Structures are given as structure tokens and as C-alpha cells.
Structure 1
Amino acid sequence: MSKPRLQTFGEGFAARKVIAQAIDYPDGTHEIAHVHHRAQLVYATSGIVRAVTPLGLWMLTPGNALLIGSQIEHELHMVGQVSMRTLYIEPDSLSPQDHECRVIPVGDLLRASILGLFDAGSDEAGESRAALIVPLVLRLLQDAEEGPHAARLPLPVNTRLRNICESLIAQPASNDTLERWADRVGASSRTVARLFRQETGMSFGQWREQLRLAEAMSRLSVGHAVAQVAQDLGYADVRTFTVMFRRAFGSTPAQFVQRFRERGVV
């Protein structure tokens, strides 16, 4: 495996606690594995972002951001047209995190503060405005509660299991059995089952179901039809999908979509 890229920003930005960068991505864009000296807040105002680290897959729906720790290797996958507004934060400006990444709900004040950094402009007045906004953003990030646990799916370190998981991420509708996957990676089904529990805390079936539900949550949040999501993710029918979704999230897919519509997201 090639060594991940280290992304830097040059001496001109070294003194800034927060560097704001706006990037628009077409559907299917993939940023290869890389690391930053700074922590990174990944926030998309539209589209879905998947972030993959050595230990987890993070699914970001609208209304949530991901704070990636300094020096954490990660790659990003874009689903749909993604408008990303990302902040690169000097590590000393934040308290140490308990985990490599943290999902952060983006409420109205944090959203306005993030977007305000991009509206500030580069003239003297804009720099002065940004100097007022940055401490607010840092405080809001510091005080933010943990976002939904469903946004994170643990990934195994074992190479054979990792290959299975990456194949399922690419094709979540696959209903191939554990035995068939084990044959493909040259291991016994018993070994694969044991390693899945050991490295992810879940059975193979539970992990695949969590992947599908995370995918469903992301697709629904950007306007995909419930029936289409159920079909694309390998469910037998809409009813089966609805039962699994309600069991995981406490609401039906239609109720989930309605909440997003009320917030003006879908």
C-alpha cells in the first residue's frame, strides 16, 4: 500500500488557527488516502460524503459534520453533487479528542458561523470579521455533543476482512453468504466469523445490515425515493426495509425524510 499524502498549505497560512476551503465535487469523486498536520472539519451543504479511516467508515448526512483528528489518515468519497465547506484547524486550538474522528451535529449557529468564514472576504474588513468568527467556531466545536452513532461503522484491520468490507461498501446490495465471501478471500467461514466479531464487535450479518442502514440514511437524506433505496440496497421489498429501518432509528423511512424536509434539507 502506498504511503498516504501529507497535505500542507504553505507558510502564508501557518499563522491562521483556521483555514477555510470551499470545494465543489461531481458525483463519484474520490480523494485518495492522505493526512493533514491540522485537524479537518468536513461539512457538506449538499450531497453525501463517505470518509474512510483505518478503523472506520463514516457516513455524513446533511446536518452533520466530521471532525478528523490531526495526522489521521483518511480518504473521502462523494455521492451526488457535493458542496464541501471544510475547515483546517490548528491542533492546539482544540482539546484532544478521545477518538480519531467525531461526528458533530451542525445546528443553526454553527452552520451560520462556518458559512460566515466563507462570506467574510479577503480584504481588511473581511479579515477582521473572520477574527471574530473563528473563536466562536472553535468554542462551538469544543462544546458540541457527539453526533449519531449510526454515522460510524467500524472497519477491520485484518486484510481478508477488509477486502470483504470494501467489496460490500462498493456493492451493499450483495446477498452473498458468509461462506461465499470466505471462499473468495481464502479462509474458512468459521475463521471469518470469529474475526468479524473480534475486530468489529459485530457478526458478519450485523455488520452488513449496519452498512445498508447507514447507506439508506444517507440516500434518503438527499432525496432518493424509499422504494428505490430499498431495491438498491438488496432488501426483498419496501416493507422489509421499513421494519429494519424503524428498528434501527425509531422511525420509518418516510418519517425520516419528512423531518429532513421540515428542516429544508431534502
Structure 2
Amino acid sequence: MVDAVTADPGDPRALADWAAALGVSPRTLTRAFRAETGLSLGGWQAAVRAQRAVLLLAAGERVDEVAEAVGYASASAFGAAFRRQTGRAPSAFQPSGGSGAVPIARVDVPIA
């Protein structure tokens, strides 16, 4: 599960989908995931998505393209989630005015 989400942060599978695929109950998966990472599955996914988004934004990708790539249905939903994770708007991570200077945010994600 960790490998799949890390490889594709836009993976749409939810907790129930992962639990069914792994043959465990959602409650068992929730407890095991929190024990291993210290985060809920949703919290961890949001952090992984934010990390990937920073890379894509810094590479010059448009916000709406990044939102879709990391699994959000809209740029506004992505923007709100991104601000919760990083404390900054997605545009803060895009190259500006040709200066090439892009602020880097640290978003720590415990990997199981």
C-alpha cells in the first residue's frame, strides 16, 4: 500500500478499498497503519500528496494539472489541502519571474 501510494499519490483507493485488497478489516488496517507511522492513512496520504505536489509545482506544472496528478477533483480542493499541509499556497512553490528561486517546504512523512 505504501509503495503504491508513494508511486502514485493520485491513487483513488480509500481505506475500505485497501483493507479489502489486503484481506483485513478497515479497523485493523487503521490501527496497524497508525502504529507504524504515527499518522492516520488519510493524514499520511495528504502528506505524500503535498510532497509530490511541491516537486511538480517547482518543475513548473500548472496548479490544476498538479491537483489532478495528486488525486484531487479540483484545484480549489487541492489548494485547501495543500495549505493545511504546508502552510502556504501552491503558487508559492512555482518558479516566479524567471528567477529560478523556488522556496522549498519540508513535509515530513513517516514511511512504513
Q: TM-score range by the shorter chain?
A: 0.7 to 0.9
Which residue in the other structure is 1:5 paired with? none
> Which one has the bigger strand percentage?
1
Alpha-carbon separation, structure 1, partners of 2:92 and 2:69: 20
Partner of 2:109: none
- Paired residues for 1:72-151 under 5 Å: none
Runs of 4+ in 1 over 2 A off after TM superposition: 258-262
Shift in Å, 1:231: 0.9
- Contact 2:60–2:95 (Cα < 8 Å) also in 1: no
Whole-angstrom distance in 2 between the partners of 1:171 and 1:256: 20
- The sequence identity of aligned pairs, in percent, is 36
Matched, 1:215 2:52: yes
**C-alpha distance after superposition, 1:12-56 (max 9, x if no partner):** xxxxxxxxxxxxxxxxxxxxxxxxxxxxxxxxxxxxxxxxxxxxx
> 5 Å matches for 1:178-197?
178-197=15-34
The answer on whether the counterparts of 2:58 and 2:95 sit within 8 Å (CA) in structure 1 is: no
Question: When the two structures are superposed, what TM-score results if normalisation uses the length of structure 1?
Answer: 0.36
The number of residue pairs the alignment matches comes to 102
Task: Give the TM-score of the pair, scaled to structure 2.
Answer: 0.81
Task: Label 1:261 to 1:203 Cα distance change in 2 as closer, same or farther (>3 A).
Answer: farther
Note the aligned Cα RMSD (angstroms): 1.9
Matched-pair contact (CA < 8 Å) for 2:10–2:70? yes
If asked which structure has higher relative contact order (CA below 8 Å, sep 6+), I would say 2
Residue 224 (1) aligns with residue 61 (2): yes
The corresponding residue for 1:241 is 78
Q: Which one has a bigger Cα radius of gyration?
A: 1
Unaligned 5+ segments in structure 2 are 103-112
1:169 to partner: Cα distance: 1.5
- For 1:249 and 1:260, the matched residues in 2 are separated by 22
